[in-house]
Structure 1
Amino acid sequence: MTKTYEVRARHWAGGWELHIDQVGVTQVRTLDKAERQVRDYLETLLGLDVSDTVVNINPDLGGLEENVREAKERSRAAEAAQRAAAQQARLVAVDLRKRGLSVSDTATVMGVSRGRVSQLVKTRTAQPPKVASRAAPR
């Protein structure tokens, strides 16, 4: 069964104190090394096998945690919107070209360069590369 350890990380002048719920406290210089430090602590000091362990590092940011969460969520939403917009642009470029618009006219309608139209159409209509067949040796 997977064991989960919740760790509250508190910043101080020398790095981070890592408060492992119901276990103890250790320290690390930078937060990116916190999970490894907690695992080492559990293995070394308590003799625990941590191969099937989840370690959740929760930085105490003095109230900025919600701001960080919101910024991450907005970034994820923006990335999803960008992917959707790119897909829509590919579909529109293909549709405009199928209706007989030139690359130049498609570019003007879409507000992009002619090169971008070519990229959009090529990306949308690209087929998997064909594998060259080899004749059997005689």
Structure 2
Amino acid sequence: MDITATARKWEHGWELWLDGEAATQIATLDKAEQQVRDYLDTEEPDVDHSAWNITVVPDIGPLGDEVAAAHIATENAIAASAAAAAESRRVVRHLREAGFSVTDSAAILGVSRGRVSQLVSS
């Protein structure tokens, strides 16, 4: 089961809204998912909510667009880093296959000898 809770900031923390109604509150947003689960357990004690997928969406106005952009930038950076590592591994293998020493391969790539050894073994 999937549940989406909207978190709205107030002077004492966050109100957690379910289905358009304020359901419960929490002091800090990092505890919101568990608070929703606890609330659901209170409302429906015979239902096991432990495996439910609970998504908490902070209602932070226009800052939400900035947060989304930051998430996308981070995901892009992670993907670029993975691609760069794969390319470095490929190039190091080719340098070593072409007979270049670990020291020379490191100098060519501008990395340490230890990094070349890591790239060869990964």
Aligned pairs for 1:34-113 (under 5 A) are 34-47=32-45, 49=47, 50-51=49-50, 53-113=52-112
For residues 53 and 42 of structure 2, the distance between their equivalents in structure 1, rounded to whole angstroms, comes to: 17
Alignment match, 1:6: 4
- TM-score scaled to structure 1, two decimals? 0.77
How many residues align structurally? 121
The residue identity in structure 1 corresponding to 2:8 is R
Deviation, 1:6, is 2.2
- Stretches (4+) displaced over 4 A: none
1:92-137 Cα distance to aligned partner (Å, 9 max, x none): 11111111112222122111122222222232xxxxxxxxxxxxxx
| Rg (Cα) greater in structure | 1
- TM-score, scaled to structure 2: 0.86
Cα displacement (A) at 1:41: 1.5
Q: 1: CA distance between counterparts of 2:109 and 2:87?
A: 11
Pairwise CA distance, 1:48: 5.9
Aligned-residue CA RMSD in angstroms?
Answer: 1.9
Partners of 2:15 and 2:22 within 8 A in 1: no
The whole-number CA distance in structure 2 between the counterparts of 1:53 and 1:107 is 50
Identify if the C-alpha distance between structure 1 residues 55 and 120 changes in structure 2 by more than 3 Å, giving closer, same or farther: closer
Q: Could you list the runs of 5+ residues in structure 2 that have no partner in the other structure?
A: none
Alpha-carbon distance between aligned partners in 1 of 2:87 and 2:111, rounded to the nearest angstrom: 14
Structure 1 unmatched runs, 5+? 124-138
Q: Which has the higher helix share?
A: 2
Equivalent in the alignment of 2:29: 31
What amino acid is the match of 1:27? Q
Deviation per residue, 1:48-79 (Å, 9 max, x gap)? 62245332211011211111111111111111
Task: Return 35-44 or 25-34, whichever deviates more.
Answer: 35-44
Structure 1 letter corresponding to 2:3? Y
Secondary structure, counterpart of 1:5 in structure 2: strand
